[in-house]
Amino acid sequence: MILKQYKPEFVIYVSLITGVIILFLVMDKLAGVVNLLSSLASKANINTQFLGIILKITGIAILTEYGTSICKDTGETAIASKIELGGKIIMIALSIPVISVLLESILKILP
């Protein structure tokens, strides 16, 4: 808050650096979650390609939220909404293989 009053141009840098530091602090927890999901997927005989897609979508969602928050902090709400839209489009495009396999499975079950 003090920095924002006297040097508002540095607020974005402080926000970016804080986000990167927090990301590095939680990286080992994130690796544990990925390992757990991977072991559960192998036990349940789930295609690991789908797990990779889901992890990519999750990463894109996190990065999109991070970028949106930074834009909103700097007052760029128009850019923030465009980042959200772009993230959603990328997530939908990445999820198409999962959706198609799911629909094929449903069609096999139906008479």
pLDDT per residue as tens digits for the range 49-64? 888 898 899 999 999 9
The distance of Cα 14 from the centroid of its chain, to the nearest Å, equals 22
**What global pTM score does this model have?**
0.75
Look at residue 2 in the predicted model and tell me its pLDDT.
67
Look at residue 98 in the predicted model and tell me its pLDDT.
87
- Angle (deg, nearest 10), helices 11-43 and 48-73: 160
Look at residue 89 in the predicted model and tell me its pLDDT.
96
Low-confidence ranges of the chain (pLDDT < 70): 1-4, 8
Where in the chain are the domains?
A: 2-109
Residue 23 token pair: 């990301």
Look at residue 60 in the predicted model and tell me its pLDDT.
94
Residue 24 token pair: 């590095």
For 109, other C-beta atoms within 10 Å of its C-beta total: 7
